[in-house]
Structure 1
Amino acid sequence: MKNDIESSILDLENITSNTEKGLNKLIQVSEKADARSSSTLFGAAGGIIGALAGTLIAPHIALSALLLSTPLTALGIIGGILVYRGRNGIKLEKMIAQNRIACDEVLDRISRLPKDAPQEVVDGLWENYNILNGAYRNQSAIALSPKEKSKQGLMLPDSSEKTLNTYEP
């Protein structure tokens, strides 16, 4: 009887020790996840959902779980990130990329001008550059500003009037 009690106490101590180790590992993982961006976490959640879906669906359609869950995991990651960004975030990202291409083109043309280029040509290119920056400023202000009460903008509060400065030679 005494050995049974001692054995039970030892088992409880082992269980308690293992539980503490498990909790410490979960806390470490949680702290690492906390340091990640929301976009990354949405992607990870999407990947988990995709992997689970592939694992659950595979036996029903006579495919290897690995064959189905791998692409579903990848699609889940991509889907999670796109859901996080939302339609407005994707539009803003596209607009920024298009504006960057146009600005880079104008700056490239300015840098390739001959030294004796007429001042009106130089001024015209800088004016185009400023127009592009103004368009970017206006579009991003619209994209970032709150809209109707039911549809909030991406980042800026109502009272914000953030703008980007344009370069003037």
Structure 2
Amino acid sequence: MTPINHDLFDAFRADHAVLGRGLHDIRTRLVAGDTAGARSATADLDSAVGAHIAFEEENFYPALTDFLSDEEVEAMYAEHAEGADILERIAALDPDAAVPAADLEALIAGIERMEHHVSECGQLFGALGGLDEAAMDVLLADLERWRQRAPSWSSYASREHAPSAK
């Protein structure tokens, strides 16, 4: 692995660790009945991973189109939109009220789907092994630019960013 590949891989892995821990924290708080804590953890995650979501949608997923089917790539965009919807639904909860059982079940199921997405997406990094060092340099620079812009997940990931909606 060249140094730039290693740098990009480390950045990608670190972002996914933040995402995984954040989703786990939100789920734990929801299950414990800590609606206010779940809302706070949601706000933290929303701002912490938006740059990574934007990077995946604008740079990483397009780089995967030579390695994956259109349906697989479209599914990843849709999963981001679902994740943003879950964050928005949690952010809208009454912090002083218990979450109704049916709503809680749906939110937990959505979080579990996002945790699965995080796991699958992390494994996709290996698909880029066929790219040359210059292409990896570009991807790392793209990720750094998104980190500087720092969009939130909920403000960025939406159906309008999916290729089929452009």
Structure 1 and Structure 2 fold alike (TM over 0.5):
no
Given the two structures, how large is their TM-score scaled by the length of structure 1? Answer: 0.31
**Bigger share in helix:** 2
Of the two, which has the highest radius of gyration?
Answer: 1
- Where relative contact order (Cα < 8 A, 6+ residues apart) is larger, the structure is 2
User: Could you tell me the TM-score, scaled by structure 2's length?
Assistant: 0.32
